[in-house]
Amino acid sequence: MQAHRAVLETDHEGHIKDPPTLPPDAKVEAIFLVLDEPASRTSLRKPPPDLSGMRIVGDIVAPALDEQDWNLNRA
């Protein structure tokens, strides 16, 4: 058994647009999940309201632990 995922689209009447080609003389089981409408790709991403206006001050790249606390095997 092989699993293949295909996202199918329907027209305004519910008919499948561009149906996939299926293997000849095969039994195919299909389970259809209706996907929610995706958010518009043109919409801009925005931070959560409680983070808006927040400023980052200082070094945000520095490690949280000192190098001696890394517990690395040293040669």
Q: What is the mean pLDDT of the chain?
A: 81
pLDDT at 71 over 80: no
Q: What is the C-alpha separation between 30 and 26, in angstroms, rounded?
A: 13
14: which DSSP letter? S
pTM: 0.40
Dihedral of CA atoms 15, 16, 17, 19 in degrees, nearest 10, equals -140
The stretch 13-24 carries a mean pLDDT of 91
Residue with tokens 């996939």: 20
1 vs 21: which has the higher pLDDT:
21
71 vs 9: which has the higher pLDDT:
9
φ, ψ (nearest 5 deg) of residue 17:
-85, 140
Structure confidence at residue 25 (pLDDT): 95
Which residues in 1-75 belong to E strands, given as ranges?
Answer: 9-10, 16-17
